Amino acid sequence: MHPMIIGLACDGEHRFSKLPCDSIVLIAGRGVQGDAHAGQLVQHRSRVAKNPNAANLRQVHLIQAELFDELASKGFVVAPAQLGENVTTRGIDLLGLSCGTRLRLGADALIEITGLRNPCKQIDGLARGLMAATLDTASDGSLIRKAGVMAVVITGGEVQVGDAIELESMPLAHEPLEPV
């Protein structure tokens, strides 16, 4: 299956879930037009409290729809936008990408992966035990976070549901994703 966008969301308010939509506009260096998390500096409330002058490495949140399939097998029903993501993908292993990987979304937009989304306890507001279901343990005992990846916008453009996702470039050496 060719990687594609199956869901988009944006919300001007700081709410956990976002509002599904058919298209979004990505703005270089800022994020999703009209989204509460857009900006050059960090916009997530917990991060603003720590350092309001930090660069915003969380301009766009992407989640792979394959996570929703996995959660469904555990009895959880989760739809695009409910976990607060802006872009829901299918057919690309987001969690296996290297930090610094660039993805083309649709014809024009280009994003760069900055790291993992660290799931928070608000996920349990959708369903008790859901946060734990988005985590796993690797064979070495380390924590695996499955709640998607974060990115910054390199080149802006309109993105629509059904648009293709293309791997534009990746670093020569794989840099594992860490929470940002």
Domain ranges of the chain: 4-169
For the entire predicted model, the pTM comes to: 0.97
Rounded to a whole number of angstroms, the CA Rg of the chain reads 15
Helical residues (DSSP H) of the chain, grouped into ranges: 45-50, 65-73, 130-133
Mean pLDDT of 63-84: 98
**Residue 98 DSSP code:** P
Predicted confidence band of residue 62 (pLDDT cuts 50, 70, 90): very high
Sign of torsion over alpha carbons 149, 37, 12, 117? positive
The mean pLDDT of the chain is 96
**CATH 1.10.3720.10 at 4-169, yes or no:** no
Q: Two tokens at 41?
A: 């500096």
Q: Which of 66, 69, 68 is nearest to 123 (CA)?
A: 68
Amino acid 45: pLDDT = 86
Q: Looking at residue 120, what is its pLDDT?
A: 86
pLDDT band of residue 44 (cuts 50, 70, 90) is confident
Tokens linked to 72: 């469904």
What is the pLDDT averaged over residues 110-137?
A: 95
Q: Provide the pLDDT for residue 75.
A: 97
**Helix segments in 86-160, DSSP class H:** 130-133
Q: How many CA atoms lie within 13 A of 62 on its CB side?
A: 31
**Averaged pLDDT, 126-141:** 95
**Res. 46: pLDDT tops 90:** no
- 10 Å Cβ neighbour count for 115? 18
